[in-house]
Amino acid sequence: MTSFKTLQRLAKKLRSPTGCPWDRSRTIEDMAESMEEEAEEIQEAFKKKDWKNLREELGDVLFNIVLTSQIAEEEGKFTMKDVLKDIDEKIRSRHTWVFGKDKANTPEEALEMWNRNKKAQKEESQAEG
C-alpha cells in the first residue's frame, strides 16, 4: 500500500542526482504554474462529475504539494512536516465548535464561525507582523 512517506521518498528520488533531470530543474516558482494547471483540471473533473479523473487529478495535486515541499526543504525554506503542522493547527483552531466551546448546529452556523475565526486569525497575524 502506498503511503504519504512513499510519495515523499519518490519526490526525493526524482530530485536526486540519480533521479530525473527535469524534476531536478524545477523551482518553487515553476511549481506555481503546475499547481494552477492541476487546479483547473480538478475543476473540470468536478464539473463533469468524472470521479475517476477527479481521483487522478487529486493525486496530481497531492504530488505537486509533496514535490514543492521537497524543493522548499532543499532550499531551507520549510519542510513537509511544517506544512502538515500548520494545516493541522489551522483546521483545529477554526473549528471551534468541534475542538472548542462554541456550538454550531447547522452548516450555516459552522460557516459563520469558520469565517469569524478566520478573520480573527488574519487580524491577529497582521497585528503581529
- What's the pTM? 0.88
Given a cut of 90, is residue 128 above it in pLDDT? no
Render 59-107 in DSSP notation, one character per residue: HHHHHHHHHHHHHHHHTTS--HHHHHHHHHHHHHHH-HHHHSS----SH
**Domains along the sequence of the chain with CATH:** 4-79 (1.10.287.1080), 95-129 (no CATH)
pLDDT 10s digits, 40-72: 999 999 999 999 999 999 999 999 999 999 999
Around 34, how many Cα atoms within 13 Å sit in the side-chain half-sphere?
A: 17
Cell of 16: 536526486
